[in-house]
A and B are shown apart, each in its own frame.
Chain A
Amino acid sequence: MEITDRQMELFVSGFCSFVLALSGAGWLLKSFERSSFIYFSDTGGSGIIFKKRPTKDCLPPGAGADAKAHVVVVGVSCPDLILPNGGTPAGTSSPASSSSLLNRLQLDDDIDGETRDLFVTVDDPKKHVCTMETYITYRITTKSTRVEFDLPEYSVRRRYQDFDWLRNKLEESQPTHLIPPLPEKFVVKGVVDRFSEEFVETRRKALDKFLKRITDHPVLSFNEHFNVFLTAKDLNAYKRQGMALLSRVGESVKHVTGGYKLRSRPLEFAAIGDYLDTFALKLGTIDRIAQRIIKEEIEYLVELREYGPVYSTWSALEGELAEPLEGVSACIGNCSTALEELTDDMTEDFLPVLREYILYSDSMKSVLKKRDQVQAEYEAKLEAVALRKEDRPKVPADVEKCQDRMECFNADLKADMERWQSNKRQDFRQLLMGMADKNIQYYEKVMSVPARPSPLSEEARLIARESLGQGPARNPAAATPAGPCPTVRDAAPGLGAEAPVGVPTGHSRAHAAHRSGSSLLPGPLGLAASCAPESGGLQSRERAGPRGPWGLSLKASSLRLLGLPYVGSESSFYSNLRVTKEGSME
């Protein structure tokens, strides 16, 4: 069909306007963002949600103590407003749920990195030596597109004291929210070296986490003190100024909490309280166990370090055996190094997170108590009014205020709890999977015996294959160790064939034969088959006769594999751990 000029014209103009419209919309969108609006459209409703700096007058009535809330919900009439990240708002337009709604939005925003507009990093620790004291400062780098920040980038230096100050200020000004914990303040001077690399690095990581948690919080990240902390050149001046002024009454919900006793905690908060108690307890136990494990592992390491060289000494005496023995010694050395790395990782990565969450739980419990106070005050006042038996239909203003305070506190707390729970799940998932991975790596390192081209290793491999039922199956029953540990087989299919397994002589084989349902292969290296409860057993009694007094049985035996510690069930366990974690921890 021929396209006439007219049609072409129309098409071109239409196209151009379309493009213009698009870019215009795009520009509009950009400007919205820059002025911190977020526009969501839905299937036909008219929900627009604004995100901007709060001012008192623009808040709807009843927003109450949530004065710092930066989000205003306007005209959300359709309950099925679809948010870009697939979340659906739980409540409708009740003010009490506004912050929870928006907290959830913020949560989604975090996952979607594009809408994040504040990035904070802690790094570069430096030691400062002054006349009075020596201390460490950390560099804080901030990048932000938020209006609250005059410049897009900041870089300041802060010391631990400053962090402490910040936290206190946040607690004061945002008492209804859960403030993340700081790493421990006091260090026993004699025991721990405050300036050692490990200590400083651990602390730096914890401080970084602290700031990142605040950054991610929809309310806390807009806190004035936080802003100053990130940007001011001279923080001390600001601190002095802050102390001089009386904190504005309206700014905080701090009350002289005198003598209000709460009769009973509402169920949900009681549940939270109980949970936190148990949670902190369990974490404490895990921390202690982990420390104990590390200690035991270090002692094991000490012995291993002595064990390896003995093989070297022996190899110096021998002729043909020299090489394999030296190999064993090297293997053991290998294992020692791998183990050391493992314990270091445990100490650096695992323990601090546990401690952080314990501290977190403690601070959360105190926030719960504050909430209780607020509720107690409200209930007391309410009772007082009721007792007065005045026939007033209207509840006095201050009681109403109390109620608002309480409700906002509850709302904030609930929202924060949920976000805390979600973060906790993520953090622990990462932590435990990390631990499992580290352990798996350890065992993999340990199993990586360099391939030896000698005929002995071939023999060893042959036997290994057989035992694992992969080779010419002498015992069909032993062919496939089915069992609850398919993961290792899947994860490490090559391991069974490659790594030489202890080659049995009269000892091991006969032993394996007798142990029905044995879960371990001959030799100290049970591999994949070891995790199967029924390895099929080597049913007939297999015995290899001795091969002469100075036998090659020595060579062919598990001897040279002895340096390798005990794999098999552990790597299967850790694989399972990983699988489980992946499966059930989302």
Chain B
Amino acid sequence: MEQAPPDLERQWQPAPLEPLGHADAGLQAAVGEEAEGSRDEVPGDGTMTENNFGLKKIEISVSEAEKRTGRNAMNMQETYTAYLIETRSVEHTDGQSVLTDSLWRRYSEFELLRNYLLVYYPHIVVPPLPEKRAEFVWHKLSADNMDPDFVERRRIGLENFLLRVASHPILCRDKIFYLFLTQEGNWKETVNETGFQLKADSRLKALNATFRVKNPDKRFTELKHYSDELQSVISHLLRVRARVADRLYGVYKVHGNYGRVFSEWSAIEKEMGDGLQSAGHHMDVYASSIDDILEDEEHYADQLKEYLFYAEALRAVCRKHELMQYDLEMAAQDLASKKQQCEELATGTVRTFSLKGMTTKLFGQETPEQREARIKVLEEQINEGEQQLKSKNLEGREFKFGPMLRNALARCNPVK
């Protein structure tokens, strides 16, 4: 299995074992702020959270969306939407912000970034992206990706994604992320050069394979249960909400019919005429008010979806942990059997039935030189195995005690 590769590209990333205290403290501070309420955190003109990029404060915003046409990989015309990402650095002294970078990115590039982060930070619950295609739509809502409302909601979702990544104490230091915000051309190539694609593929395969872990970590199992249940509850909720929205829409729109009738009726009345006319007008207003209302509700649904995807990400982390655990167990098992073999060879005793033992008995014992050689090989392997085990243990510990997860675990102990 892999060890942490000393890629140059990752030089921005501090050693995974950065002092827990620091990361924790960072999060503590953030948590503390949250508890106090949002008033303090969000200053008057509505700025974003800060981002410590080597002591620089940066504001990030996805400010615009634009329809573009271009040629895709197969040289066919396609229309897509590009989003403008602006970064501003905030000077300490006067709080003025200066536009440092602005570039355009499309959704697929965001996806690429996220996949990269998923591969390189398996122990972190990476913030989710807004959905690729509109799901859980109720009937009047457009499922078209080019629909302006959808684009707007997506813009907000993308901004949230960037902000969440930027406010993560570990993720924010990643160079690729920084380049995403600053280097327009060639970013894709840079990412691909890290070779994360291969790792991604192999991980994907491993994740989907079925395997059983002998001593599953209880907390992770609970976490996985929780994420599964959360996923199912939220998707149920979203489905029902969509139906509720549909029905409510119907109710309002039928009221619109009143508008016409009342105004026709008002034409034949004398004293009642004005009142009826006004009533008709208000019915129309009422009927048309539902569009805005439901549009706003989509934002709520978006937030739910975000947590739906978060639950997925959480589950993925749990799975990765399981995988790691499994590898660990396999390595340990392997080591144990090799040690045993070594011992047997050294002492010449055959404790367990083995083919070697059989053949030895049948065909005579091997020469001492051969035995020596074998013992040497085995000892090397044992050493390697022990190293691996050590590193796996290390990885596992880091995994468990990754700051995000620690908090997540703490929160996931439901007060039953």
Contacts and interface: CB of A to CB of B under 8 A. Distances in A.
B358 interface: no
A481 interface: no
Contacts of A18: none
Interface stretch (A235-243, A445-453, A552-560): A552-560
A208 B57 CA distance: 78
A432 B269 CA distance: 15
Interface stretch (A130-138, A394-402, A503-511): A503-511
Contacts of B234: 314
B233 to A, nearest CB: 5
Interface in A122-164: none
B303 A279 contact: no
B240 A510 contact: no
Contacts of A375: none
Interface stretch (A92-100, A183-191, A195-203, A539-547): A539-547
Contacts of A550: 310, 407-408, 411
A286 B246 CA distance: 23
B383 interface: no
Contacts of B44: 474
Nearest to B36: A455
Given A317-B230, A577-B282, A278 B274 contact: no
B212 interface: no
Contacts of A322: 414-415
A472 B156 CA distance: 27
Contacts of A429: 272
Interface string A272-291: 00010011001001100100
Given A299-B247, A562-B300, A583 B275 contact: yes
Interface string A70-85: 0000000000000000
B54 interface: no
Contacts of B274: 580, 583-584
Interface residues of A, number: 88
Contacts of B292: 518-520, 526
Nearest to B236: A310
19 contacts: A282-B265, A286-B258, A299-B250, A307-B240, A317-B414, A502-B300, A507-B302, A510-B159, A511-B299, A514-B152, A542-B42, A543-B42, A544-B38, A544-B41, A545-B42, A552-B35, A566-B293, A570-B289, A573-B283
A310 B61 contact: no
A347 interface: no
A196 B240 CA distance: 34
Interface string B24-56: 000100110111011101101111110000000
In the A-B complex, list the 3 residue pairs whose CB atoms are closest, starting with the nearest: A545-B49, A542-B46, A300-B247
Contact of A551 (B34, B243, B275, B414): B34
A458 B293 CA distance: 24
Contact of B164 (A540, A543, A549): A549
Contact of A545 (B48, B156, B241): B48
A508 B299 contact: yes
B48 A296 contact: no
Interface string B223-262: 0001001100110110011011011101100110110011
A573 B279 CA distance: 9
B237 A310 contact: yes
A21 interface: no
A513 B289 CA distance: 19
A581 B299 contact: no
B163 A506 contact: yes
Contacts of B303: 505, 507, 553-554, 557-559
Contacts of A296: 247, 250-251, 254
A462 B37 CA distance: 11
B307 interface: yes
Interface of B: 27, 30-31, 33-35, 37-39, 41-42, 44-49, 61, 125, 127, 152-153, 156-157, 159-160, 163-164, 167-168, 226, 229-230, 233-234, 236-237, 240-241, 243-244, 246-248, 250-251, 254-255, 257-258, 261-262, 264-265, 268, 271-275, 278-279, 282-283, 285-286, 289-290, 292-293, 296-297, 299-300, 302-303, 307, 310, 404, 407-408, 411-415
Contacts of A282: 261, 264-265, 268
Given A286-B258, A310-B240, A550-B411, A586 B271 contact: yes
A554 B303 CA distance: 8
B383 to A, nearest CB: 40
A311 interface: yes
A580 B276 CA distance: 8
A473 B268 CA distance: 48
A80 B159 CA distance: 80
A285 B160 contact: no
B334 to A, nearest CB: 36
B258 A543 contact: no
Query: Which of B30, B41, B61, B250 has the most CB atoms of chain A within a 10 A radius of its CB?
Result: B250
A507 B37 contact: no
Given A432-B275, A580-B282, 20 more contacts: A286-B258, A289-B258, A296-B250, A296-B254, A303-B243, A314-B230, A314-B233, A458-B37, A507-B303, A508-B296, A508-B299, A513-B46, A545-B49, A547-B33, A548-B31, A549-B164, A549-B404, A550-B407, A557-B300, A583-B274
A293 B282 CA distance: 16
A318 interface: yes
A562 B302 CA distance: 13
Contact of B37 (A299, A428, A459, A520): A459
A547 B30 contact: yes
Contacts of A425: 271-272
A488 B168 CA distance: 44
A437 interface: no
Contacts of B415: 319, 322
Contact of B285 (A474, A548, A569, A585): A569
A514 B159 CA distance: 14
Contact of B307 (A319, A459, A554): A554
B41 A293 contact: no
Given A282-B261, A549-B404, A585-B271, A524 B293 contact: yes
A261 interface: no
A279 B265 CA distance: 7
A556 B39 CA distance: 12
A474 B262 CA distance: 42
A47 interface: no
B300 A543 contact: no
Interface string A400-421: 0000000000000000000000
B205 to A, nearest CB: 27
Contacts of B299: 507-508, 511, 522, 558
Contacts of B254: 289, 292-293, 296
A279 B258 contact: no
B248 to A, nearest CB: 6
A558 B265 CA distance: 41
A434 interface: no
B163 A545 contact: yes
A46 interface: no
B163 A511 contact: no
Nearest to A458: B37
Contacts of A540: 45-46
Query: Which of B159, B240, B283 has the most CB atoms of chain A within a 10 A radius of its CB?
Result: B240
A502 B155 CA distance: 20
B272 A313 contact: no
A576 interface: yes
B300 A584 contact: no
B275 A581 contact: yes
